[in-house]
Structure 1
Amino acid sequence: MTAMRELSPRAVSLDERPIARRVGLILLSTDHTTELDYARLVASDGIGVYASRVEYANPTTPENLLAMRPRLAEAAASILPGSDLDAVCFSCSSASAVIGDAAVTEAIRAGKPGVAVVTPALAAANALTALGARRIAMLTPYLAETTRPLADYMEAKGFDLAGVTCLGFDDDRVMARITRAALVDAAVAAMPADADALFISCTALRAALVVAEIEARIGRPVVTSNQATAWECLARCGASVSHPEAGRLFSLPLHTAA
């Protein structure tokens, strides 16, 4: 039998963390898109992205979105138990507007005390402000009843809505299947001549992939849900990145987001 030698752990040097920065994601159980966007825009050798999923049932209505609130604390606590995080993003734009930023933050901090909480609605508002936009257009894939709370949210943040377009879908799994070409066409059609910027809401949409293309077509900045939260999470990590494909927002200093 081969001799085995066991060393004392004290003889082995350790890093303070396995990876320098850690971002948590709370995803809907039906989300097909956010993890892939974060793999492209956030994850790196120095930033780890760690996800949990919260039970969610379609259709995408304010009532079903609100039903997730009691589940957020458990979802947050399940992300690397016993380890702190630099930020946790609740990746649902419409739910963050329906539940409210304060309530989302309270619920997530019940599971991860003191963590910086990022929501798509607030991240989008911060991004639009950083881009100097006050009069905006909105495009959502939702029903009108689901779009209304988000429009109200943006108006409460001081934005003037030049136009709101909703595509009438009620299932986020179908929203994730909208083609890139269709997203570009819808974005161009939703952009009035007098708007400063376009906000494309919904973390299910693959809109972050076509931001630069839309900006080239409309000649103004575009903010999407996943692009905005990624930008803010990177700022919380003190990161320095270059993602020209992610549009004008990523040309701004990341410290602006924090």
Structure 2
Amino acid sequence: MDVRVSDLGTPGTSPAFSAPDAVRRVGLVVLETDLTMERDVARLLHGSGLAVHANRIAFSNPVSAESLAALETSLSAATAALIPGTPFDVIHFGCTSASAVIGDDGVSAAVRTAKPGARATNPIIAADAALKALGVRRLSILTPYVPEIARPVADRFAALGYDIAGLTCWAIEDDRDMARVRPDVLIREAVAATDPKADALFISCTAVSAAEVVPLIEAEVDCPVVTSNQAAAWLALRLCGIDHDVPGGGRLFSRPLAPGDRKGTA
């Protein structure tokens, strides 16, 4: 059998090939035990034109200050393994509690060591940008963590200037169990966790399947609801210059970045 070889030219110079940066790319570094984040972000970014790629980072349950802090040592390597040599617009480290324990500077430094041209974000950065876009001052927080992990998350938001109206936790130690909390239970818990005087509710943790029920919770509590994965997707869109709304994404997606907010800027 004769084989016809078609000459497309040399990649990088031939018009047959698109430029390496022709597609805007968002990278996720996700805990190897997380059952939820990729699904949520893919759903919320569907149709946006952004390509989403994920890599897993080794993690051992239970969720504790020690297991979360240990992620910092392997974060650069996990980030570097996201399609080596391919430019990314945004790299998002997908763990809210680890971001609180390690700190924004530590997370961003690890990400930018591996991908210096990308904007480095994490759920704390994304949620803060989302809450500022919504004009939130007084905040209720719902987390799945044990109290020893829930408190540092709340303390991080307090340090960012929010008045914490209330903190609720479920005391779950395994993030795979966090992902299995039923939607009806999640809605009930979210309503109970929202202080009537709060400007918004933040539901922490990329493992919790909260993004898909945000509109239902907002209808019950009559205030904006921000989740870790929802905020990650929203901020990725805004940092890539995409301002469109996402049906079913909640009130947040109708908002642009707050004036002067440059969250995640490389």
What is the TM-score normalised by the length of structure 1? Answer: 0.95
AA aligned to 2:136 is A
Deviates further, 133-142 or 6-15? 6-15
Q: Percent identity?
A: 47
Provide structure 1 residue ranges, at least 5 long, that are not aligned to the other structure: none
Q: 1:122 aligns with which of 113, 122, 125?
A: 125
Q: Is structure 2 residue 37 aligned with structure 1 residue 34?
A: yes
Mapped to 2, the partners of 1:145 and 1:207 lie a distance apart of 22
Q: Deviations over 1:85-110 (max 9, x none)?
A: 00000000000010000000001111
CA contact 1:120–1:225 (8 Å) conserved in 2: yes
CA distance in 2, matches of 1:72, 1:34: 17
Greater share of residues in helix: 1
Q: Does 1:22 align with 2:47?
A: no
1:8-36, Cα deviation, whole Å (9 max, x unpaired):
51465221148521000000000110110
Unpaired runs of 5+ in structure 2?
Answer: none
Establish whether residue 70 from structure 1 lines up as the match of residue 73 from structure 2: yes
| Secondary structure at the counterpart of residue 9 of structure 1 | coil
TM-score with structure 2 setting the length: 0.92
Q: What letter is aligned with 2:222? A: G
Q: Does the Cα contact within 8 Å between 1:231 and 1:254 map onto a contact in 2? A: no
Distance 1:4 1:229 in 2: 46
Q: Per the alignment, in what secondary structure is the counterpart of residue 126 of structure 1?
A: helix
The aligned length equals 258
Q: 1:253 Cα shift?
A: 2.2
Give the whole-Å Cα distance in 2 for the aligned partners of 1:19 and 1:203: 29
Deviation at 1:4, TM superposition (A): 3.0
Q: Say which SS state the counterpart of residue 245 (structure 1) adopts.
A: coil
Aligned pairs for 1:191-230 (under 5 A) are 191-230=194-233
For residues 225 and 195 of structure 2, what CA distance do their matches in structure 1 show? 13
Q: Quick check: 1:43–1:49 contact (8 Å CA) kept in 2?
A: no
Q: What residue is the counterpart of 2:148 in the other structure?
A: 145
| Cα-to-partner distance string for 1:159-203 (whole Å, 9 max, x where unaligned) | 011110001100000000001111100000001111111010000
Residue of 215, 235, 240 corresponding to 1:237 = 240
Q: Deviations over 1:192-244 (max 9, x none)?
A: 11111101000000100011100000001111000011110111222243213
Letter in 2 for 1:7: D
8 Å CA contact 2:141–2:193 kept in 1: the answer is yes
